[in-house]
Homo-oligomer: A and B are copies of this chain.
Amino acid sequence: MNYNHLFELIKRKKSFLCIGLDSDIEKIPSSLLKFDDPVFEFNKSIIDATVDLAVAYKPNLAFYESRGVAGWLSLQKTIDYLNGFGDDVFTIADAKRGDIGNTSNQYAKAFFEILDFDALTVAPYMGKDSVSPFLNFEDKWVVLLALTSNEGASDFQYFKNSNSKKLFQEVLTKSQEWSSKENMMYVVGATKAEALTEIRKIVPDHFLLVPGVGAQGGSLEEVANYGMNDKCGLLVNSSRGIIFASEKEDFAEIAREKSLELQKQMEKLLSENNLV
């Protein structure tokens, strides 16, 4: 999916919601354990209940790899199911990969060919040649970690040079030499919404993937105030706050309620910015 198609999708659904499929098998309702692939059944129910409200889905690989081959099968079925919706959903593999060139090529093959995701989260630590291999696929995206929403973000991402430029700002600046707004987005933690002003100065046009609204405590309104641009430029993720809002058999229904709440707020924010 390209940049304009993504904006069209956001306008059509009046939403910039991304749902994180962090589908921990130990947290899904026990009623699903009777199925051959409980995690896929869980994901399918969540997707079916929310697909008119969310523009993107983001499985986090850790929750699949932790189940070995069985988990990889659940992931394959989930992305196949999502791809059945065509250009009606944007898909992100939250894998935070990154390795030397010939190795990143293999990861690109894994996520963009075998699994056919639209986008992959990538860690920037190893620099240009670890990221570039992912940029050679038409209409596929890198979502580069810039400023994350966890406590440990302060350990290295705020490391400052003699001009007070922080590492995450250097990541934003330098990565633009290798990429464009058409194939690169950035992870920016919602809990640092003030930093969004600074970030928008460096990357005015790029999409930002904002985790941490909901369970991690960020405010949607603040994110929109500081981060929205004239093509929306935001995908805001919620994972546990939606998919595990109920632990019971009504999980999909409650996931829909929580998604609808967010979508309604998003519609209002898009409307206030004259985008819908």
Contacts and interface: CB of A to CB of B under 8 A. Distances in A.
Contacts of A174: 155-156
A115 to B, nearest CB: 7
Contacts of A156: 124-125, 127, 167, 170-171, 174
A219 interface: no
Contacts of A153: 126-127
Nearest to A24: B106
A90 interface: no
Contacts of A104: 62
Interface string A133-167: 00000000000010011111111110111100001
B130 A60 contact: no
Contact of A155 (B103, B127, B154): B127
A22 B101 CA distance: 13
Interface residues of A, number: 58
Contacts of A68: 72, 76, 110, 114-115
Contact of A145 (B66, B125, B167): B125
Q: Number of copies of this chain in the oligomer?
A: 2
A64 B152 CA distance: 30
A99 B161 CA distance: 25
A241 to B, nearest CB: 13
Interface of A: 22, 24, 60, 62-63, 65-69, 71-73, 76, 94, 96-101, 103-107, 109-110, 114-115, 123-131, 145, 148-157, 159-162, 167, 170-171, 174
* For the complex of A and B, 9 pairs with smallest distance between CB atoms: A127-B152, A127-B155, A62-B106, A65-B110, A66-B106, A129-B152, A100-B150, A66-B109, A128-B152
22 contacts: A60-B99, A62-B99, A62-B103, A63-B103, A66-B109, A67-B114, A68-B72, A69-B72, A69-B73, A98-B123, A100-B148, A100-B150, A123-B123, A125-B157, A127-B157, A129-B152, A159-B167, A159-B170, A161-B161, A161-B162, A162-B162, A167-B167
Given A94-B99, A123-B123, 6 more contacts: A65-B110, A66-B110, A67-B114, A68-B114, A96-B97, A126-B152
